[in-house]
């Protein structure tokens, strides 16, 4: 059993070694604040992030948050004054509440490697993954990969209303809610949509005398109008629902999944570009020496813990230790650069690893 209480000095030394390894790959070492303005993170993730982060109030700076990860401040720093292309590395503590899994550390050290380069996204994806694989070599880890961009392309290609597509896209990172919406918008959900409309109408009627509640009456009326419009729309076809289900169920080695996705693209051509990018990435990974024939790919991977990723995603896990969090995770976050760049964007991919877990697993070997 891996011993997790590694002395912090040892973890910091391992972090410095990894950071130096990434610097040798051409990455620029950077430092970032530990205490961050909460406003940006709340705008990105909504109030949900409060359940996972430590928040306080400063009389001069307003609401502040202990750094829950490095990606957001890293992107902000690059979009403010970084040259392109660029590679960065960093090391330091992050802080996350662990109410669901209280045995996990709420403060730990991460080391990261980020690539801002739009010249060849597939090659950049392969660079980050292969660099991490090399750094983790010698540990008994299982690599998992996915591509959220394929599911997003499938949703955008649905022959339905923009409102429905937007709702599905908004909840891609909440699998249970996503499936509930798929059911509601399908033929099977016709009665459910009517019941939902009747319930909201009843709530509005009850609120008329007097109106009491957190939502304004105008908000409820807007909700009714939206539900009434949706009730008149044709359901998403059974064929398209089946294609979405087919994509969500894909879990195989990368070449096999790629073959299946190419078949699905015949009936859902809107995913063709995303599938082509996956093929390019597969080739780029092979050129980097990655054994793609035995690399796991799961279409739903990354949807519960990687909310800012919108393309390639990956993780490395300790074999036989499902109780441990991933040793390393990463992925592509092009959309995040557009949000934080205020109109300017650049393709970007990166990841983080946990030197404390690496040392623990080495000691367990």
Mean pLDDT of 199-219: 54
* 283 half-sphere exposure, CB direction, 13 A CA radius: 8
Q: Would you place residue 224 in the very low, low, confident or very high pLDDT band (cuts 50, 70, 90)?
A: low
CB 210: neighbour CB atoms within 10 A?
5
Question: How far is the C-alpha of 185 from the C-alpha of 234, rounded, in Å?
Answer: 9
Alpha helix positions (H), 174-253: 175-185, 190-206, 217-232, 238-248
Least confident span in 15-19, 97-101, 222-226: 222-226
What number is the average pLDDT over the span 48-56?
A: 80
DSSP alpha helices (H): ranges in 25-120?
38-45, 71-81
Q: How far apart are CA 74 and CA 76, in angstroms?
A: 5
Domain residue extents for the chain:
1-140+324-365, 143-160+238-318, 161-237
Position 240 scores a pLDDT of 94
Nearest CA to 248 among 260, 237, 235? 260
Task: Give the pLDDT band (50/70/90) at residue 211.
Answer: very low
Reported CATH class of domain 1-140+324-365: alpha beta
Quick: pLDDT tens for 70-104. Answer: 998 999 999 888 778 999 999 999 998 876 666 77
At residue 212, does pLDDT exceed 50? no
List of residues 6+ apart from 353 with CB closer than 8 A:
18, 110, 111, 112, 132, 135, 136, 316, 327, 328
> Is the model more confident about 320 or about 65?
65
Which of 263, 321, 49, 65 minimizes the C-alpha distance to 173? 49
Render pLDDT for 270-300 as a digit per residue (tens, 0 to 9). Answer: 999 999 999 999 999 999 999 999 999 999 9
Provide mean pLDDT across the span 32-37: 90
- Terminal-to-terminal C-alpha distance of the chain: 9
Mean pLDDT for the stretch of residues 66-71: 90
> CB–CB of 38/58 below 8 Å?
no
In this structure, what is the dihedral angle of CA atoms 187, 190, 193, 198, given to the nearest 10 degrees?
Answer: 180
pLDDT at position 102, please? 65
User: How many angstroms separate the CA atoms of 38 and 57, rounded?
Assistant: 9
- Give the DSSP letter of residue 34: S
Q: Does 178 have pLDDT greater than 80?
A: yes
Highest mean pLDDT among 152-161, 181-190, 232-241, 341-350: 152-161
Cα distances (angstroms) measured from residue 248 to each of 150, 217, 242, 298, 326: 10, 38, 10, 8, 22
Give residue 120's Cα distance to chain centre: 21
Q: Which of 175, 196, 272, 189 is nearest to 238 (CA)?
A: 189
Confidence of residue 352 (pLDDT cuts 50, 70, 90): very high
Work out the mean pLDDT of the chain and round it to a whole number.
86
As to burial, measured by CB atoms within 10 angstroms (0-12 exposed, 13-18 middle, 19+ buried), residue 44 is middle
pTM of the model: 0.87
């Amino acid at each position: 059993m891996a011993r997790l209480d590694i002395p912090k000095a040892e973890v910091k030394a391992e972090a410095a070694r990894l950071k130096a390894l990434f610097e040798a790959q051409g990455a620029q070492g950077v430092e970032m604040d530990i205490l961050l303005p909460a406003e940006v993170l709340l705008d990105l993730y909504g109030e949900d992030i409060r359940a996972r982060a430590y928040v306080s109030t400063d009389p001069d700076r307003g609401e502040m948050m202990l750094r829950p990860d490095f990606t957001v401040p890293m992107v902000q720093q690059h979009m403010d004054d970084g040259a392109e292309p660029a590679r960065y590395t960093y090391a330091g503590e992050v802080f996350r509440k662990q109410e669901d899994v209280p045995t996990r550390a709420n403060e730990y050290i991460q080391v990261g490697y980020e690539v801002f380069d739009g010249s060849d996204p597939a090659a950049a994806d392969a660079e980050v993954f292969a660099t991490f694989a090399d750094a983790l070599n010698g540990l008994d880890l299982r690599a998992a990969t996915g591509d959220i961009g394929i599911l997003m392309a499938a949703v955008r290609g649905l022959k339905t209303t923009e409102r429905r597509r937007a709702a599905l896209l908004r909840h891609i990172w909440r699998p249970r809610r996503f499936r509930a919406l798929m059911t509601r918008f399908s033929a099977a959900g016709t009665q459910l949509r009517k019941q939902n409309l009747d319930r909201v109408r009843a709530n509005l009627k009850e609120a008329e005398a007097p109106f009491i509640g957190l939502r304004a009456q105008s908000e409820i009326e807007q909700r009714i109008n939206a539900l009434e419009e949706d009730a008149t729309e044709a359901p998403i076809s059974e064929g398209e629902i089946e294609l979405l289900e087919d994509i969500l169920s894909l879990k195989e080695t990368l070449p096999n999944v790629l073959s299946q996705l190419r078949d699905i693209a015949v009936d859902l051509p809107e995913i063709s570009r995303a599938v082509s990018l996956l093929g390019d990435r597969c080739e780029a990974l092979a050129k980097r020496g990655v054994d793609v024939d035995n690399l796991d790919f799961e279409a739903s991977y990354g949807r519960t813990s990687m909310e800012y990723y919108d393309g390639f995603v990956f993780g490395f896990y300790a074999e036989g230790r499902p109780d441990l969090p991933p040793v390393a995770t990463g992925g592509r976050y092009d959309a995040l650069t557009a949000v934080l760049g205020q109109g300017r964007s650049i393709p970007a991919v990166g990841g983080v690893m946990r030197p404390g877990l690496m040392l623990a697993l080495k000691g367990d070997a």
